[in-house]
């Protein structure tokens, strides 16, 4: 499982011009699920994310977690995080999990964030063509891979 985490001032996701998820200060997470991932990887990833100290404190230092600042999270499914560009000019997505498995783990991950104490967790729509607007804060962008956790 991979998560591209971006610290944001605001984030929103729209489908056909209609906003379906919107947050203020917090994280926009682009989440990719690979073949072989399970709820174990989702648990590890969610726990790591809510406890990362990358939110600014009163001295503008990255010392606080998303829970410490009552931040919000917008999670968008992103199978293209598993693009393999080693051969040819067209990426292969063979490492990405099948949609039914990926959707289950995506929903499980979102629920886990809520259970870990994030008060406002918004989502995109799994498998839909979406427009994502992000106003980076910092910018702070961190790639997390469950294989490294």
Q: Which of 10, 35, 80, 85 is catalytic?
A: 80
Alpha-carbon distances of 112 from 23, 88, 107, rounded to whole Å = 18, 38, 9
What are 20's two structure tokens? 């379906």
Q: Residue 99 CB: number of other CB atoms within 10 A?
A: 14
Q: Which entry of 6, 10, 35, 79 is annotated as an active-site residue? A: 79
Q: Which of 6, 10, 35, 78 is catalytic?
A: 78
Sole residue written with tokens 């605001």: 10
Handedness of CA 104, 106, 108, 110 (dihedral sign): negative
d(CA 119, CA 68): 12
Q: Is 78 designated active site?
A: yes
- Our answer to whether residue 80 is catalytic in this structure is yes
Helix (H) or strand (E) run with residue 36 in it = none
Q: How distant, in Å, are the alpha carbons of 47, 60, 62, 68 from that of 57?
A: 21, 5, 6, 10
> Annotated catalytic, 79?
yes
Q: Enumerate the active-site residues.
A: 78-80
């Amino acid at each position: 499982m991979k998560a591209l985490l971006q610290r944001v001032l605001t984030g929103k996701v729209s489908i056909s011009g209609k906003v379906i998820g919107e947050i203020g200060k917090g994280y926009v997470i682009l989440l990719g699920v690979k073949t072989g991932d399970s709820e174990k990887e989702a648990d590890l990833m969610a726990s790591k994310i809510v406890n990362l100290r990358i939110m600014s404190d009163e001295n503008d230092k990255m010392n606080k977690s998303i829970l410490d600042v009552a931040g919000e999270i917008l999670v968008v499914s992103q199978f293209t995080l598993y693009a393999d560009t080693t051969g040819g000019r067209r990426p292969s997505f063979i490492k990405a999990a099948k949609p039914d498995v990926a959707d289950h783990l995506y929903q499980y991950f979102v629920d886990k964030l809520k259970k870990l104490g994030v008060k406002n967790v918004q989502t995109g729509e799994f498998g839909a063509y979406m427009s994502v607007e992000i106003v980076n804060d910092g910018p702070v962008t961190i790639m997390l891979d469950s294989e490294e956790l």
